[in-house]
Amino acid sequence: MHSLSQEIQGFSKGRLKKQCTRVTTVMGRTLLERRGDGGEVEELEEEGGCGFVEDKSLDLQVSHVLNVAYGVTNLYADQLVYKTLQILDLPDTDITSYVGECSSFIDGAREKDGVVLVHCNAGVSRSTSIVIGYLMLREGLSFDDAYGQVKLARPSIRPNPGFHQQLQSYKP
């Protein structure tokens, strides 16, 4: 049995097995590459590449957008159904007063098998507060459970302190 130090001393680069790496270029070409003894890359062969198809479809087939930002325009009004409520991200804004109207829009989209994107400027305070309120109102979740579900889906959530406190005491 050899010790590790004996193995290291007996190591020789020539005993290493040559490895090949399959590389797919941005244009879809597939190459087999191997490093030469001097470290240079040797291209061994090219396989038939299939290329790629750019997917311009919207993720999750979003059909409806609930825009709760202030001053953000709706860019795809010809392709999506929008509802815009210009909500200020201030602790003294009564966020719970918007939950009912927003929930009705979300429900209407869901009845048509639609998918709703709820957005504000950064996706941190207003939109997440509306979704938390929706889960409390429609799904009967407690604040902690609703907050936890939204946080799982979007870890960067951070409702401002006023929204946080309002939602904690929200009784739908």
Ordered alpha helix ranges (H), 36-142: 96-111, 126-138
Long-range contacts of 36-43 (CB under 8 A, 24+ apart): 37/13
The active-site residue out of 20, 50, 102, 120 is: 120
Helix, strand or coil, per DSSP, at residue 74: coil
Locate 61 and state its tokens. Answer: 């087939």
Is residue 165 within 8 Å of 128, Cβ to Cβ?
Answer: no
Would you call 120 a catalytic residue per the annotation? yes
Rg of the chain's alpha carbons, rounded to an integer? 27
Under 8 Å CB-to-CB from 4, ≥6 apart: which residues? none
The residues that are catalytic are 120
